[in-house]
């Protein structure tokens, strides 16, 4: 029945690589209202990160060069562009750039944005409530003193994670002084668990998938009045932490002399798991660039939870297991069977569409980047490459370009691959990845 109504469900069930164009994306700004999220919230989040910058610098010397601001570089990748065009017949016109959240300070993934932001927001609330800070103008390095740390040890922070969110929340929470418990799903990598334990984090391991780890984490946190649970599926704080990226991208694009307007469209491709990270970034991009930005998510064929939820309108009421998929994928962080309903609903007027890809391609794309640009990012982050590789090759995306009057503007377009993770991957695992052929 579902398949009759939504033919895409059959293609998803059969693990076909595909593109889905969102029929509900709209130019109408009124459609963005009603979620309790606005540009003012992004400004508020950015200001909070600025207040914490001296504290971050004090805890993480690696952030000194950037003044305690956690931000990644935007790198032109013409070598990769030539490689993709030559090898896959992609015909990518305009400029291809790599947004290296893979190399973000502290957590080495996009999760450094949302995860760290949420931990700091909670910390600010506790500090103000208990008089550790007198107000927003106070000196936040006070929070890095042994006395402050001793205060925070009475509180616990918990999170359910497939890996990278756990690293981000775990490392930052441990730096503040909290007791931290990270509830890990079965697919989480051993090295991530070990790294967290080195930071003094308690890692709980489950045989089950991500949704179950989240459930266990929430139950454990609810049982302790001094525990705070970071809810990856529903957190507006995480979402806003991710959205800040868009504001900062404006000056980075200016530095690269990249114009974004009606004659110079911007395409952004982001790997999607539960949806918080790509959703927050996409929301911010829409606020900043209006409809001149065209954002596409990319998911593995075995875990296309967001496209399944959005295309059927069922959002988080359907899982990939419901249509016979395993939800298992080599793409760490994208092995999510059920998308965030909150994010899916916010994306309805914003998202341009979604691509899916097979796991084997993750490794091919990873080698393409490494060989052409000498940049390493983790395989899941390479899911983004499917977007520009296929943009000119699917009839659906060609029709999208045509409908939006973009076909003759593509030589002035820019394409951003959002590289979501990689810096913390140990050398031996990198070698394994480089030698993996599926």
Ligand X SMILES: *Cc1c(COP(=O)(O)O)cnc(C)c1O
Tell me the closest approach of the beta carbon of residue 167 to ligand X, in angstroms. 9
DSSP state string for 274-322: SSHHHHHHHHHHHHHHGGGEEEEEEEETT--HHHHHHHHS-GGG--GGG
Q: Please say which residue, 179 or 332, places its beta carbon nearer to ligand X.
A: 332
Query: Closer to ligand X at the Cβ: 182 or 260?
Result: 182
Which lies closer to ligand X via its Cβ, residue 160 or residue 421? 421
Stretch that binds ligand X, among 32-40, 87-95, 106-114, 185-193 (CB under 6 A): 106-114
Among residues 94, 115, 166, 273, the one that binds ligand X under rule CB under 6 A: 273
- Using CB under 6 A as the binding rule, whether residue 284 contacts ligand X is answered as no
Q: Which of 95, 111, 183, 361 binds ligand X (CB under 6 A)?
A: 111
Among 115, 166, 333, 387, binds ligand X (CB under 6 A): 333
Query: Binding mask 113-152 vs ligand X (x if CB under 6 A, - otherwise)?
Result: ----------------------------------------
**Residue 141 CB neighbours (<10 A):** 17
Rule CB under 6 A: is residue 248 a binding residue for ligand X?
no
Residue 271 binding ligand X, by CB under 6 A: yes
Does 338 bind ligand X (CB under 6 A)? Our answer is no
Burial tier of 345 (Cβ tally within 10 Å: 0-12, 13-18, 19+): middle
- CA angle 113–95–376, rounded 5-degree value: 50
Query: Using CB under 6 A, which of the segments 42-50, 116-124, 181-189, 270-278 binds ligand X?
Result: 270-278
- Interaction of residue 274 with ligand X, rule CB under 6 A: yes
Binding window for ligand X (CB under 6 A); candidates: 116-124, 213-221, 246-254, 378-386: 378-386
What number of H helices and E strands is found in the chain? Answer: 17, 11
Strand 179-184 with 156-161, pairing: parallel
Closer residue to ligand X (CB): 74 or 413: 74
Stretch 160-199: interaction string toward ligand X, x if CB under 6 A: ----x-----------------------------------
Short-list 362, 401, 404, 357, CA closest to 382: 362
Applying CB under 6 A, which of residues 94, 241, 265, 276 lies at the interface with ligand X?
Answer: 276
Q: For 216-245, give one letter per residue: b (16+ CB within 10 A) or e.
A: bbbebbeeeeebbbbbbbebbbbbbbbbbb
**Residues 31-90 within binding reach of ligand X (CB under 6 A):** none
380 lines the binding site for ligand X (CB under 6 A) = yes
Which of 98/148 has CB closer to ligand X?
Answer: 98
**415 dihedral zone (left: phi>0; alpha: psi -120 to 50; beta):** beta
Alpha-carbon distance of 11 to 167, in angstroms, equals 34
Indicate the residue among 312 and 380 with the shorter CB distance to ligand X: 380
The whole-angstrom separation of Cα 400 and Cα 281 is 21
In angstroms, the Cα distances linking 204 to 46, 181, 210 are 32, 7, 12
Count of positions on this chain that bind ligand X (CB under 6 A)? 19
Neighbours of 370 (CB within 10 A): 17
| Burial class for 303, CB neighbours closer than 10 Å (0-12, 13-18, 19+) | buried
| Closest distance to ligand X from the beta carbon of 348 (Å) | 16
Question: What does the alpha-carbon distance between residue 286 and residue 238 come to, in Å, rounded to a whole number?
Answer: 17
Q: Which residues bind ligand X (CB under 6 A)?
A: 109-111, 164, 271-278, 333-334, 378, 380-381, 420-421
């Amino acid at each position: 029945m579902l398949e009759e109504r939504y033919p895409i469900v059959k293609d998803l069930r059969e693990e076909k690589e595909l593109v889905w164009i969102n029929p509900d994306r709209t130019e109408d700004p009124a459609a963005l209202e009603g979620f309790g999220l606005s540009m003012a919230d992004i400004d508020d989040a950015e200001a909070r990160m600025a207040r914490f910058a001296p504290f971050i610098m004090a805890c993480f010397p690696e952030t000194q060069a950037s003044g305690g601001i956690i931000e990644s570089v935007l790198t032109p990748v013409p070598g990769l562009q030539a490689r993709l065009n030559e090898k896959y017949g992609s015909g990518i016109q305009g400029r291809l750039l790599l947004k290296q959240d893979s190399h973000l300070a502290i957590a080495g993934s996009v999760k450094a944005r949302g995860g760290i932001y949420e931990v700091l927001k909670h910390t600010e609330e506790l500090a103000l409530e208990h008089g550790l800070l007198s107000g927003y103008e106070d000196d936040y390095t006070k929070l890095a003193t042994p006395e402050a740390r001793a205060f925070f040890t009475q509180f616990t922070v918990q999170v359910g994670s497939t890996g990278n969110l756990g690293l981000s929340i775990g490392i930052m929470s441990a730096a503040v002084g909290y007791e931290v418990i990270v509830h890990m799903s079965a697919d989480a990598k051993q090295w991530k668990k070990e790294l967290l334990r080195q930071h003094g984090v308690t890692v709980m391991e489950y045989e089950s998938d991500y949704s179950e780890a989240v459930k266990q984490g929430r139950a454990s946190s609810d049982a302790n009045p001094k525990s705070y649970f970071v809810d990856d599926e529903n957190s507006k704080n995480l979402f806003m932490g991710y959205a800040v990226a868009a504001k900062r991208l404006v000056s980075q694009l200016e530095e690269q002399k990249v114009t974004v307007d009606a004659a110079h469209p911007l395409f952004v491709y982001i790997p999607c798991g539960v949806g918080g990270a790509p959703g927050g970034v996409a929301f911010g991009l829409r606020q900043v660039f209006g409809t001149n930005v065209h954002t596409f998510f990319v998911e593995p064929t075995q875990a296309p939870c967001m496209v399944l939820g959005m295309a059927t309108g069922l959002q988080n009421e359907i899982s990939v297991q419901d249509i016979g998929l395993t939800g298992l994928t080599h793409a760490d962080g994208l092995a999510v069977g059920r998308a965030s309903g909150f994010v899916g609903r916010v994306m309805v007027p914003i998202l341009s569409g979604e691509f899916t890809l097979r796991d084997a391609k993750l490794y091919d794309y990873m080698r393409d980047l490494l060989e052409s640009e000498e940049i390493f990012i983790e395989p899941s982050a390479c899911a983004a490459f499917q977007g520009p590789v296929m943009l000119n090759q699917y009839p659906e995306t060609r029709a999208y370009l045509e409908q939006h009057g973009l076909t003759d503007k593509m030589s002035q377009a820019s394409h951003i691959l959002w590289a979501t993770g990689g810096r913390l991957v140990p050398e031996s695992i990198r070698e394994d990845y480089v030698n993996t052929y599926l």
